[in-house]
């Protein structure tokens, strides 16, 4: 069974909260105002971190679905896509673009000199 990175992060955050006393306010001496404030700020930070991580995970999943849809549409239509930066010359070719030109996909798009 593979455990997601996000689950591991949440487990570590939970352990941090328990060990710092933020999750369970169990102390033999009543906490001072500064300690309570620090615990509240820590809890807010952790909740914000979890919310942002969750939103990032959802965005990545949506981006992956969109990329899969684009790849499928390009394959069905017999099209490919590419882009190249005019500033630094770096480029990207879709897998379907490589297929159309009977080339094997590479991590980096061919240079301008190789292509032309």
Q: Where are the beta strands (DSSP E) in 42-109?
A: 82-84, 91-93
pLDDT one digit per residue (tens) for the chain, 116 residues: 566 776 777 777 777 766 665 555 555 667 788 888 888 888 888 889 888 988 999 999 999 999 999 999 999 999 999 888 888 878 888 888 888 888 888 888 887 777 66
CB contact set of 25 (below 8 Å; sequence gap of 6+): 31, 39
The answer for residues whose C-beta is within 8 angstroms of residue 82's C-beta and 6 or more apart is 91, 92, 93, 94, 97, 109
Q: Give the number of C-alpha atoms closer than 13 A to the C-alpha of residue 76, restricted to the C-beta side.
A: 6
Tokens (6 digits) for 45: 């930070």
Q: Give the residue extent of every domain in the chain.
A: 1-22+31-77, 79-116
pLDDT for position 113: 77
**Which DSSP letter does residue 16 get?**
H
Contact assessment for residue 49 and residue 43, using Cβ atoms and an 8 Å cutoff: no
Entry pTM: 0.57
């Amino acid at each position: 069974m593979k455990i997601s990175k996000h689950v591991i992060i949440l487990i570590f955050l939970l352990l941090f909260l328990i060990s710092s006393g933020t999750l369970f306010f169990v102390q033999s001496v009543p906490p001072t105002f500064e300690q309570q404030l620090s615990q509240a700020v820590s809890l807010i930070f952790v909740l914000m971190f979890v919310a942002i991580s969750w939103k990032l995970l959802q965005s990545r999943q949506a981006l992956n679905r969109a990329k899969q849809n684009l790849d499928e549409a390009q394959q069905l239509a017999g099209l490919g896509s590419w882009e190249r930066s005019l500033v630094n010359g770096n480029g990207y070719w879709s897998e379907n673009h490589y297929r159309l030109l009977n080339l094997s996909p590479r991590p980096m798009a061919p240079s301008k000199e190789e292509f032309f």
